[in-house]
DNA sequence: ACCTGAACACCGTTCAAGT
DNA sequence: ACCTGAACACCGTTCAAGT
């Protein structure tokens, strides 16, 4: 057993988040438990509850890391370069969608934990968690600039509509809640969404 | 304790589903447990495992009832009457989205259990469960007829894109994963989706 | 001050033994 | 044949007692 002062409070927190994220990665959210985390970091559950509020608090911290990881993944793959490239507006958006779908596929368990875990709707979302979500939308909104005007409010709304729609298609498909037949693919669906939604925007 | 032959296998199944759905309705999926269900129907867990395969199997049966309930809700509210009414194509779709959002709000716990519960992606979805999903899409596709042509494959895909997108907006918003500011509302987002997507479809 | 260890009230799942 | 009851290996959460 670890002796006191072996690690700071922050170190224990970081170790727990890393071990917990690993558990989810390997076996999904149902494979996660505070007791397994405690075992994995060499402390007892009591210590874990000294550092975290409760079960939800740990999962929220793990999901926040996944959100950061997703943003880093998108920044790395989409970078700033096609800002100056010759990619069309449509291709930029399709690339964004494809990137999200790839991340969800490659990190299925961590990605699905993002949505299998919900606080009761009255419970306030911690501000630090909301900031991770906002950071993601900031990135998306920036790439939408060429498509929407520079009307702030409209860019915000358009980014949210497109992103939520892409997520909906991705989520229902990957979780087998939307059976695809014949030539249908996730990318085919998101392409249809983007092509027609953007055509609609531009025709106004 | 209930004596043998008090209820048929099918009766026990139906009782368990009803009690289990009630548990979810009251306290969400985390408030559900096989042991509570057993207590509620007056049998022991052993009997429950005689009738159901496992935990997932019970939840799947409960969710199937929710899918039926959702379809009945939409049929009742949207009926067949605006088929002959003067509602525009856009209004029909907006009504469909509004109906889904209302159901999700009014039945939040049962609705969110639909998506908090996932089988491992390799596990095959039971056919009887797939049928409930298909029945839902059948209803949606029928109302899309005026908007899309009568190309079967295209109607299928369009229905899936629109429905999944509406679901994505609804899901992220109701679970606090998409913060709305100012004048934004769920309905505002789905309206934007529908208006622009349909305008795009018609401009081709 | 920090951490343990045990306790409490739960879980899902299995299966020998009763009727 | 059907159901029970107990067992097994787990959970989240709390907190007195140790160092």
Pick from B108, B177, B184: CB nearest A157: B184
pLDDT at B176: 96
Q: Tell whether A82 and A158 lie within a shared domain.
A: yes
Mean pLDDT of chain A: 93
Q: What ranges in chain A are assigned the alpha helix state H?
A: 9-27, 34-41, 45-51, 55-78, 89-106, 108-116, 127-144, 152-174, 186-202
User: Whole-angstrom Cα distance, residue A16 to residue A9?
Assistant: 11
Q: Tell whether A46 and A65 lie within a shared domain.
A: no
Q: Is the pLDDT of residue B145 over 90?
A: no
CATH number at residue A183: 1.10.357.10
List CB contacts (< 8 A) between B119 and chain A: 176
Comparing every residue's Cα with the C1' atom of nucleotide D12, the nearest one is A55
Q: Is the pLDDT of residue A139 over 50?
A: yes
**Domain of A27?**
1-52
Residues 18-77 of B with CB under 7 A from strand D: 42-47, 50
Name the nucleotide nearest A44; use CA and C1': C4
Instruction: Please state at what angle helix B89-106 crosses helix B127-144, rounded to 10 degrees.
Output: 140
Q: Tell whether B1 and B64 lie within a shared domain.
A: no
Residues 32-91 of A with CB under 7 A from strand D: 32-36, 45-46, 49, 54-56
pLDDT at A145: 81
Q: Cβ separation of B115 and A120 shorter than 8 Å?
A: no
**pLDDT, tens digit, for every residue of A156-188?**
999 999 999 999 999 999 999 998 999 999 999
Q: Cβ separation of B182 and A153 shorter than 8 Å?
A: yes
User: Whole-angstrom Cα distance, residue A192 to residue A186?
Assistant: 10
Q: Tell whether B117 and B190 lie within a shared domain.
A: yes
**pLDDT, tens digit, for every residue of B32-58?**
999 999 999 999 999 999 999 999 999
Phi-psi region of A28 (alpha: psi -120 to 50; beta: other; left: phi over 0): left
User: Whole-angstrom Cα distance, residue B43 to residue B37?
Assistant: 9
Say how far residue A175 (Cα) sits from the centre of its chain. Answer: 15
**Number of structural domains in chain A:** 2
Task: For residue A124, give the chain B residue with the closest CA.
Answer: B176
Q: Is the pLDDT of residue B108 over 60?
A: yes
pLDDT band at B149 (very low <50, low <70, confident <90, very high): confident
Q: How far is the CA of B51 from the C1' of C14 (A)?
A: 14
Last residue of some domain: A52, A76, A93?
A52
Report residue B119: phi and psi, to 5°. -75, 160
Q: Tell whether B32 and B86 lie within a shared domain.
A: no
Task: For residue B170, give the chain A residue with the closest CA.
Answer: A164
Kindly list the distances between the CA atom of residue B174 and the CA atoms of A56, A89, A179, B199, in Å, as whole numbers in the listed order: 18, 30, 24, 27
| Dihedral sign computed on CA atoms, order A45, A49, A54, A58 | negative
Last residue of some domain: A10, A33, A52?
A52
Instruction: Find the largest Cα–Cα distance for chain B.
Output: 67
pLDDT at B81: 55
Q: Tell whether B121 and B178 lie within a shared domain.
A: yes
Q: Tell whether A70 and A46 lie within a shared domain.
A: no
Q: Is the pLDDT of residue A7 over 50?
A: yes
pLDDT at B1: 43
Residues in contact with A170: Cβ distance below 8 Å, sequence separation at least 6, in sequence order: A97, A100, A101, A104, A186, A190
Kindly list the distances between the CA atom of residue A106 and the CA atoms of A94, A111, A116, A164, in Å, as whole numbers in the listed order: 18, 9, 17, 20
Say how far residue B178 (Cα) sits from the centre of its chain. Answer: 20
Q: Tell me the mean pLDDT in the region B99-114.
A: 98
List CB contacts (< 8 A) between A178 and chain B: 133, 160, 164
Q: Cβ separation of A168 and B164 shorter than 8 Å?
A: yes
Q: Is the pLDDT of residue B80 over 70?
A: no
Task: For residue B192, give the chain A residue with the closest CA.
Answer: A161
Mean pLDDT lowest for which of A51-60, A70-79, B36-45, B140-149?
Answer: B140-149
Q: Cβ separation of A178 and B200 shorter than 8 Å?
A: no
Mean pLDDT of chain B: 93
Q: Tell whether B74 and B174 lie within a shared domain.
A: yes
- Comparing CA positions, the residue from A189, A200, A197 lying closest to residue A167 is A189
Q: Which two tokens stand for residue A16?
A: 């727990």
Q: Tell whether B23 and B85 lie within a shared domain.
A: no
pLDDT band at A1 (very low <50, low <70, confident <90, very high): very low
- Comparing CA positions, the residue from B92, B65, B66, B63 lying closest to residue B77 is B92
List CB contacts (< 8 A) between B117 and chain A: 116
User: Whole-angstrom Cα distance, residue A94 to residue A7?
Assistant: 45
Q: For residue B26, with 0-12 CB atoms within 10 Å meaning exposed, 13-18 middle and 19 or more buried, which class applies? A: exposed
Name the nucleotide nearest A53; use CA and C1': D13
Q: Give the CB-side neighbour count of residue A75, counting CA atoms within 13 A.
A: 11
Q: Tell whether B157 and B96 lie within a shared domain.
A: yes
CATH number at residue B12: 1.10.10
Question: CB of residue A37 closer than 7 A to nucleic acid strand C?
Answer: no
Q: Tell me the mean pLDDT in the region A60-72.
A: 98
| Dihedral sign computed on CA atoms, order A158, A159, A164, A165 | positive
User: Whole-angstrom Cα distance, residue A19 to residue A36?
Assistant: 9
Q: Tell me the mean pLDDT in the region A101-119.
A: 98
Q: Tell whether A107 and A164 lie within a shared domain.
A: yes
Q: Is the CB of residue A180 less than 8 Å from the CB of residue A91?
A: no
Q: Tell whether A79 and A137 lie within a shared domain.
A: yes
Q: Cβ separation of A165 and B160 shorter than 8 Å?
A: no
Residues in contact with B157: Cβ distance below 8 Å, sequence separation at least 6, in sequence order: A184, A188, A189, A192
Name the nucleotide nearest A8; use CA and C1': C2
pLDDT at A85: 66
Q: Tell me the mean pLDDT in the region A55-66.
A: 98
Question: CB of residue B103 closer than 7 A to nucleic acid strand C?
Answer: no
Q: How far is B3 from chain A (nearest CA, A)?
A: 35
């Amino acid at each position: 057993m670890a002796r006191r002062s072996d690690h700071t409070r922050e170190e224990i927190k970081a170790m727990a988040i890393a071990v917990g994220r690993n558990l989810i990665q390997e076996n999904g959210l149902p494979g996660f438990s505070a007791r397994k985390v405690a075992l994995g970091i060499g402390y007892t559950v009591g210590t874990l509850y000294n550092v975290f509020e409760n079960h939800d608090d740990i999962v929220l911290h793990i999901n926040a890391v996944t959100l950061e990881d997703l943003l880093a993944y998108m920044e790395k793959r989409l970078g700033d370069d096609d800002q100056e490239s010759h990619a069309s507006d449509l291709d930029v958006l399709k690339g964004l969608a494809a990137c999200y779908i790839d991340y969800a596929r490659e990190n299925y368990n961590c990605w699905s934990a993002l949505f299998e875990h919900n606080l009761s709707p009255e419970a306030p979302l911690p501000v630090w968690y909301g900031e991770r979500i906002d950071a993601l939308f900031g990135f998306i909104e920036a790439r939408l600039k060429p498509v929407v005007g520079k009307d702030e409010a409209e860019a915000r709304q358009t980014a949210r509509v497109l992103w939520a729609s892409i997520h909906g298609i991705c989520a229902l498909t990957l979780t087998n809640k939307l059976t695809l037949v014949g030539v249908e693919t996730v990318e085919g669906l998101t392409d249809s969404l983007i092509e027609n939604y953007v055509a609609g925007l531009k025709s106004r």
